[in-house]
Amino acid sequence: MTLSESPDRARQRGAGLLLSLCLWLGATLAPQADAADKSISIEDLLSAPFPSGLTAAPTGEQVAWIANYQGARNVYLGQAGKDGKIAVRALTREQGDNGVELADLQWSHDASTLVFSRGGSLEGGGPVNPLSSAAGPIAMEIASVRLDSGEVRSFGPGSNAVTSPVNDDIAFVRAGQIWIANLSQAAAATQLIQDAGAASELSWSPDGKRLAFASNRKDYSVIGVIEVASKNIQWLSPGVDHDMSLRWSRDGKRLAWVRYPSLPISFWTDAFFAKRAGDPWSVWVGDVTTGSANKVWTADAGPGSVFQPIEGSASLLWTADNRLLFPWEKTGWLRLYSLDLSQKGARPVALSQDGAEVFSMTVDPAGREAIYSSNAEDDDHRHLWRVPAKGGKPQRTTKGESIEDFPVLTESGALFALHSTARNPMAPALVQADGSFKTMPASGEALSFPSDRLVVPQRVVFKSPDGLSVHGQLFAPAGKKSSKQPAVLFFHGGPQRQMLLGWHPMGAYTHMYAMNQFLASKGYVVLSVNYRGGTGYGLNFREPDDFAAGGGSEARDIGGAVEYLKSRGDIDPARIGVYGMSYGGIMTSLALAKFPQDFAVGVDMAGVHNWKAILPDLTAPGASAQVAEVAWQSSALSSIKNWRAPVLIVHGDDDRAVPFDQSVELVRGLREHTNVEPELLVLPNEVHDFILHRSWRRVFQATHEFLDRYLQQPGS
């Protein structure tokens, strides 16, 4: 589980702190009119709409997505015409920075309607009120919009809606229970069953007669299949472990899922201690008529025995030729494998390259070819690849030094994805036969964006003191400088994420990339550090020894990054700052507390500063005093007396990932043990991954002004 996710979302989507917003590609964006004015504002760089939830219609050549344009989130439709042009139009009409989230976009069976969730927080935790409105908090609800009329309908509170593949039924979760409604009937939604657990992973059978779900019951889960007409439930081989990633066979007779061993409900054991090996996970297949199920494959002991889901998509797919596709880290890298169910005892066949990671995957309409995104042959970008589901040599589908992710295919096999470059933010794009892209404006119209004024970050690799190779992206100011420059280290969140050499396809990482570009435009050398614990560089890098509360080994990468900056010769070593959000906030506080001689200033956004306080199992009855002491020594507060640099502490006080009292405790520690009086930017009623556009703008403006105060003038 990550700092940004609820246990349900962590099990479904994998580790890593979710800082989530998406981006816009600027091939459709025009440069600003006054070419003589080369200045860039934060608002300029936050102005591009960012798309998410790209999905292809079940029939026809349409795709849809959600775009957040300066805080107004809407559903958009892209449709290819016979002339080859793609028309884009908005289907919903949300306006202004209104604090209303949209997510979970789904097509109806006949492609006439789109269903989505609206409101609430994608971090979970119930309703939110980021606007501090007298009307009260906004709860998450299920809504739909018709393509022909634009009519929007609400189905009441709920989340995670799924549409039937054969009729107008939709099923969704409300208060942990399964509810059902109909897109073409005016009747209100009704509860389908009453279950003892909390439902998730709803999945319709291909004939629409059955609905599979995971029933989460404290420290285990079981798979149920509901016959919708009778409301009878068939339980498939219930056990004491966790079941996830449900996938129907194409004939609807069988259901496959991933099962991984139950662990004690313990945040720290599951999230922040190295887990390169453990009790092996397995793949199960059940007969939905009889309820019988069998384990069809078990991961080998050793590397890859702990299940690691794919970051950006489903982690189990069923092909037309009776194969299951899933990720596995047998070689120490998250690769895509194919298991032939027609051969008893068959071993999985590796589909993707070794020495690289897979981030999202899908199959073609015929169900015989896998399309996936990977950093193969280009470890700080992502590209799309194709490979036969039965095995073969992967073929790169896209070209250029760009980033492509979240592929989807239309009925005819047309391939769409989200696409960006170093200078052009993320946008939906059609991948053409030659590997080039035909991009679409994410908000339906071309907008002004200063792409021509951005720098192309450089790939750098440096050594940490213990010899580990660490990747980074260096943003160097344009133009030749006559004197040594100030520098800023940036650390991403997660920690199980990876910053890239371009605009990021997910989360607030696009905002952070924009901030790094902005700082470079203001004369700073910015080093964005992909420190240990992150993704993209293999199992051992993601699950390092002595990490986080287990020893704080990630702090060594702070030292390595500082030494790299000093070795360049163009950096003023007295003017180095640091900033980061979430786990990046952890890294910022560690930098200021454990490397006080190296940093002149820092901005700590929503960081953890005391592992013992956030991980109560460390001090629970029977807990190891030695483990608790290691966790304390791994925290910034254990070294608070060394802290001497000015710091700006930023936190939303409705944070559902990092408790706000972590910032309270840091302020108390600084006041009690140092002469540093921290400056504060508290955002009442904001969540961890800020909902409001104005919150991001305000935080980045404050960050820039604070860094400037201490870094812009030599000797300051």
The pLDDT value recorded for residue 267 is 45
Total number of domains in the chain: 2
Both tokens of 584, joined, read 């990046």
What Rg value do the Cα atoms of the chain yield, rounded?
A: 25
617's CB contacts (< 8 A; 6+ apart) are 266, 267, 268, 269, 623
Distance CA 335, CA 222 (A): 27
Please tell me whether residues 414 and 534 are part of one structural domain: no
What does the alpha-carbon distance between residue 429 and residue 618 come to, in Å, rounded to a whole number?
Answer: 48
Helices (H), 23-65: 42-45
Same domain, 569 and 420: no
Same domain, 657 and 565: yes
- Count the residues in the chain: 716
Where is 490: in which H helix or E strand?
Answer: strand 485-491
Task: Provide the residue type at 473 as one letter.
Answer: Q
The confidence band for 260, taking pLDDT boundaries of 50, 70 and 90, is: very high
Token pair in block for residue 461 = 């690799």
Joined tokens for residue 186 = 């005016």
Q: 458-497 in b/e burial notation, b at 16+ Cβ within 10 A?
A: eebebebeeebebbbbbbbbeeeeeebbbbbbbbbbbbbb
Q: Do residue 587 and residue 438 come from a single domain?
A: no
Which residues in 226-237 are b (16+ Cβ under 10 Å) and which e?
Answer: bebeeeeebebb
248: tokens are 């129907």
Q: What is the reported pLDDT for 274?
A: 76
* Chain mean pLDDT for the chain: 91
Tokens of 111: 């492609």
Distance CA 584, CA 506 (A): 16
Q: Which residues contact 53 (CB under 8 A, 6 or more apart)?
A: 64, 65, 66, 102, 103, 104, 105, 116
Are the C-beta atoms of 416 and 406 separated by less than 8 Å?
no
pLDDT attached to residue 479 = 80
| The residue to which tokens 């016979």 are assigned | 82
pLDDT at 331: 98
* Rounded Cα–Cα distance for residues 424 and 429 (Å): 13
Q: Is 42 helix (H, G, I), strand (E, B) or coil?
A: helix
Confidence label for 383 from pLDDT (cuts 50, 70 and 90):
very high
Same domain, 531 and 653: yes
pLDDT at 627: 87
Under 8 Å between Cβ of 312 and 405:
yes
Whole-model pTM: value is: 0.92
pLDDT over 70 for what percent of the chain? Answer: 92
Mean of pLDDT values over 185-210 = 96
State residue 81's pLDDT score.
Answer: 73
The residues, any chain, with a CB within 8 Å of residue 624's CB and separated by 6 or more, are none
Bigger pLDDT: 650 or 263?
650
**Is the model's pLDDT at 98 over the cut of 60?**
yes
3-class SS of residue 105: strand
**pLDDT category, 249, cuts 50, 70, 90?**
very high
Q: In this model, does residue 8 exceed pLDDT 50?
A: no
Are the beta carbons of 66 and 78 closer than 8 angstroms? no
Does residue 599 belong to any structural domain of this protein? Answer: yes
Residue 681 lies in a domain: yes
| Confidence (pLDDT) at 270 | 52
Distances (CA, A) of 561 to 473, 487, 674: 11, 11, 26
432/490 same-domain check: no
Note whether residue 364 is domain-resident.
no
Residue type at 462 in one-letter notation: F
Mind listing the pLDDT tens digit for each residue in 155-170? 999 999 999 999 999 9
* Least confident among 251-255, 313-317, 383-387, 601-605: 313-317
Identify whether 563 is part of a domain: yes
Helices (H), 35-177: 42-45
- Looking at per-residue pLDDT, the higher value among 137 and 483 belongs to 137
Beta bridge partners of residue 30, listed in sequence order: 448
Q: How confident is the model at residue 12, as a pLDDT?
A: 37
Residue 448, domain member (yes or no): no
pLDDT score of 573: 96
The angle subtended at Cα 560 by Cα 555 and Cα 564, nearest 5°, is 150
Residue carrying the six token digits 């993704």 = 535
What number is the average pLDDT over the span 470-474? 98
The per-residue pLDDT for 621 is 81
Under 8 Å between Cβ of 359 and 382: yes
CATH of the domain at 657: 3.40.50.1820
Which strands form 242-248's sheet, in the order they lie side by side?
A: 242-248, 254-260, 282-287, 293-298
Residue 247's Cβ-side half-sphere holds a number of Cα atoms within 13 Å equal to 25
> Are 462 and 570 in a shared domain?
yes
Task: Indicate whether 232 belongs to any domain.
Answer: no
Average pLDDT over residues 479-483: 75
Whether residue 435 is found in the same domain as residue 465 = no
Q: Is residue 419 part of a domain?
A: yes
Q: Tens of pLDDT along 529-544?
A: 999 999 999 999 999 9
In 3D, which of 584, 581, 580, 601 has the Cα closest to residue 592? 601
Q: How far is CA 221 from CA 193, 239, 262, 556, in A?
A: 17, 8, 9, 39
Both 490 and 435 in one domain: the answer is no
- The predicted pLDDT at position 716 comes to 55
CB 47 within 8 A of CB 74: no
Q: Is residue 184 part of a domain?
A: yes
Q: Looking at residue 31, what is its pLDDT?
A: 39
Query: Percent of the chain at pLDDT above 90?
Result: 84
pLDDT tens for 323-364 read: 999 999 999 999 999 999 999 889 999 999 999 999 999 999
pLDDT tens digit string along 67-81? 999 999 999 999 877
Segments forming the whole domain that contains residue 122: 18-29+41-57+59-164+166-204+410-442
Structure tokens given for 115: 């269903």
Q: Which position has the higher pLDDT, 313 or 310?
A: 310
Phi, psi of 127 (to 5 degrees): -60, 160
Residues 481, 419, single domain; the answer is no
Separation of alpha carbons 242 and 200, rounded Å: 12
H/E stretch holding 203 reads strand 198-204
Same domain for 431 and 562? no
Average pLDDT on 290-299 reads 95
pLDDT for res 328:
98
Residues 414 and 530 in one domain: no
